[in-house]
Amino acid sequence: MNKYKKLIELIENNDLEIQSKKCYDPQSAWHGEELWIVDKKGQNRIFDLSGNGYCFHDDKVDEAVEEVEKYVDFKNMNTFDAFKKWVGKNAKPQENA
């Protein structure tokens, strides 16, 4: 499967979407569009496909696939690394007895 189909499949099968927002850089007078891959439920921003609105290109697809796969693995707890990350975020320091 090519990287474009893979990214589309990851987005469609995991309740994600791409949200767009117009942007403007007053210093350069450039107009652009931010393109974020977002979790529909929590509205968590996962990856900026546009490179801050001005650099949407082929290289971003490879990066997006990698980041979305990491997000989905963490969300679904599919790997030990995902579980380890969760433990690191949620472990409470023990109080001195």
Q: Which domain does 13 fall in, by range?
A: 3-85
Residue 54 lies in a domain: yes
The beta-carbon contacts of 86-94 under 8 Å, at least 24 apart in sequence, are none
Half-sphere exposure of 15 (CA within 13 A, CB side): 9
Residues of the chain by 3-state class (helix, strand, coil), percent to 5: 40, 25, 35
User: d(Cα 10, Cα 37) in Å, to the nearest integer?
Assistant: 11
pTM: 0.76
Note whether 12 and 4 are within 8 A (CB). no
Instruction: Count the domains in the chain.
Output: 1
- Quick: pLDDT tens for 40-75: 988 899 999 987 666 777 888 999 999 999 999 888
Residue 92 lies in a domain: no
Residue 77 lies in a domain: yes
Residue 97 lies in a domain: no
